Structure 1
């Protein structure tokens, strides 16, 4: 994962707001060749080699077309992880930023990563839900940020890489040509202003059965 991705996590939540019932349903995952490692960049998707149709169901079960089962987890309200057939898939939901609001597209993902359970054979993928979900617009609150130039924190990068092996952080010298505010915008923009945690939707009679 590029350091700019980590910066987004460190400075603010991504401006994405998707609910469980909006995500639950049938998705198509379009995936590239499974030949990369943890340094794989998914800025562009590349040639699609694998296509999976997966149904994300209650409470956290995922089923493929062959009836194989796995699990899925909503990562706060910003993305999801799906584990099935000895592979893990993670992606954030698609979003866009305006001057005073962000728009979440909860039936689409940005490019994400997949790998096997040995943390090998990495690939890029994106997901699209079979049923459309209305875009969700959320007001955003701009933070007051330093106008000084961004500096790579090499000690932090080393600490990240020593603490886990799922992905690899690295310094990009070209980032130091941007101000802190410019880097913040490149990493996803302003955080969403939330006054409370998202409440889970009530269970339907179908779910209780």
Structure 2
């Protein structure tokens, strides 16, 4: 029985904070504690395991003891400048935090937020208590940062600019408590199928009896605020067709994916399912058959929020700290709920290295560099914002609406809303329409046997805005 619409929750961590790159650019004081541990092992810095939005804003505040500081400038080109010298790189982690990688320090923290009865407020000039690693000594400790330049608190949705992805779906402004009947679903599907020919919709039976609000939730539609708007960049970034000529017209790693297609059940776990499926496929490409466990990160990762969502980048970051103790699905099976973090004795060990946003930083991915990464190294994780009609997809090349920034010839925005993570394992073209090959985590009964195709090269549903990858290798203990 298809459990998608009854059980699937949205994908990404919903810490109530929204900070974008131009708010982070500037001079910062980075504050470090003494090293807490050396090597692998959990270091929570006061956060819960898994983390959660209610306690994250207070984590580690009362126990943080500053030992030393560095003053750095984070530039708009994602460089880190220390004492007027280029010393490293930095990246946003969506709109919730940022990672600074300079000299021999790698630091990550979420941007500061506070909640009260009137709502949530983002303090983009400060961070919560986070983590650092000395990559030379492998010492790890706690860290936080404060912008030296004056900043102000920002309530959600206070940024000005243009909206990236317009909503065409006619029920968007309808009553959120409307209960969907079978006739409603069939009528909506008929409208979709009558309107276009590139993809087909189906009225899945599990929709019946749910409200519009519930359906939005199951589709991964999470709003910080209905008024979140975006900023323009100065330079236009578009992939030109001649840039793609060195790559094949069609390419796929499908035979290395294995037969298993996960069904999330009642857990917002697509971020870890897509990440572990990517790493498993990259192992298979090397000739090593293994299906790695998404459940391990759900139970044990203090960077993410378990079944309440998370980010592939932070799954990959967590895995790099495990000293090879990354478990397989058969040892640590998927449950669809948060359980106790377990340690398992095992012989073979895997190491994750070089976790990254494709393009070098968040927001730098595009059609070309995604294709190059897939072709050279294996499947990747893509993130997108599912429109309401996506839930009804049953086959074809999905498209909803072309983003405003492409329609109007604008620069690519510095932030695009995404809620759902999927595996991308190749690309193709049909009747002149380019598409991505993607694998979902909503079970085999959904879509094209659990997989789907989405229009490529037009940032459909922000699919090309946030691409991620990491490398994996076997540790030889002999």
Q: TM-score, normalised by structure 1?
A: 0.63
1:46 is the counterpart of 2:64: yes
Shift in Å, 1:101:
2.2
Shift in Å, 1:118:
6.6
Shift in Å, 1:11:
6.7
- Cα distance per residue 1:127-146 (max 9 Å; x no partner): 0001122211127xxx989x
* Corresponding residue of 2:340: 171
1:200 is the counterpart of 2:447: no
Instruction: Give the direction of change, closer, same or farther, for the CA distance of 1:62–1:23 in structure 2 (3 Å limit).
Output: same
Shift in Å, 1:171:
2.9
Once the two structures are superposed, the pairs formed by residues 1-209 of structure 1 within 5 Å of their partners are: 12-36=13-37, 37=39, 38-43=41-46, 44=60, 45-65=63-83, 67-117=85-135, 120-138=138-156, 157-158=295-296, 165-167=319-321, 171=340, 199-200=413-414
- Whole-Å separation in 2 of the counterparts to 1:166 and 1:92: 19
Describe the SS at the equivalent of 1:13. Answer: coil
Describe the SS at the equivalent of 2:22. Answer: helix
Which of the pair is proportionally richer in strand? 1
Describe the SS at the equivalent of 1:200. Answer: coil
- Whole-Å separation in 2 of the counterparts to 1:131 and 1:114: 23
Q: TM-score, normalised by structure 2?
A: 0.30
Superposed CA RMSD in Å reads 3.9
Shift in Å, 1:67:
2.5
- Whole-Å separation in 1 of the counterparts to 2:149 and 2:116: 25
- Cα distance per residue 1:63-101 (max 9 Å; x no partner): 113725100001111100000012210000000123352
Preserved CA contact (<8 Å) 2:21 2:76: no
Instruction: Give the direction of change, closer, same or farther, for the CA distance of 1:110–1:159 in structure 2 (3 Å limit).
Output: closer
Which ranges in structure 2 are unaligned for 5 or more consecutive residues?
Answer: 1-9, 47-59, 158-212, 218-292, 301-314, 323-338, 342-386, 388-402, 406-411, 416-478
Preserved CA contact (<8 Å) 1:119 1:166: no
- Cα distance per residue 1:118-165 (max 9 Å; x no partner): 7921110110001122211127xxx989xxxxxxxxx86436569863
